[in-house]
Amino acid sequence: MRIYLDNCCYNRHHDKKVSDEITQDKNAVIAIQKEIIKKNIELATSFMLHYENNQNKNIRDRNYNDFFIKTYRTTYIGVDRADDLSKKVELITKSGIKTKDAYHIANAILAECDFFITVDKRLLKYSSEEIKIISPVDFAKIMGE
């Protein structure tokens, strides 16, 4: 099984805010990352993920995310796939999804991921026949089955 963790999942791991929802998301992301480390799940990443992570103002969090992304990825979609991506991004943005988010989803599809995992409520409402978009909590439930 191959997944793509949206940038917000990596940042949720470091979130200082406290709520039941954030705690559940954080715990689910940690559980998912443990399965990636154990190689029970393949991780796909992309140039867009690196770009957004490099915008993180917290250097420690940015470095941790960068280490995890580079160390545990099994598939990487780079800018060399821009032509393939542009068509998918155009279709996705027509549904109202922002361009950066559309690139994440398109990268996950090109990486042949089974799941795109996000905590972004807007993205969780997007429906695609090419990939299942799911929250970390719901994905963790699937892992437990």
Task: Give the span between the Cα atoms of 103 and 81, in whole angstroms.
Answer: 11
What is the Cα–Cα distance from 33 to 123, expressed in whole angstroms? 21
Q: In this model, does residue 20 exceed pLDDT 80? A: yes
Q: Which residue has the higher pLDDT, 12 or 67?
A: 67
For residue 25, pLDDT over 70 is answered with yes
Reported confidence tier of residue 106, pLDDT bands at 50, 70, 90: very high
**Mean pLDDT, residues 71-79:** 96
Topology (CATH level 3) of domain 2-144: Rossmann fold (3.40.50)
- pTM score: 0.93
| Average pLDDT of every residue of the chain | 94
The answer to whether 131 touches 114, Cβ cutoff 8 Å, is yes
Query: Beta strand pairing status for 2-5 and 115-117?
Result: parallel
CB neighbour class for 138 (10 Å; exposed up to 12, middle 13-18, buried from 19):
middle
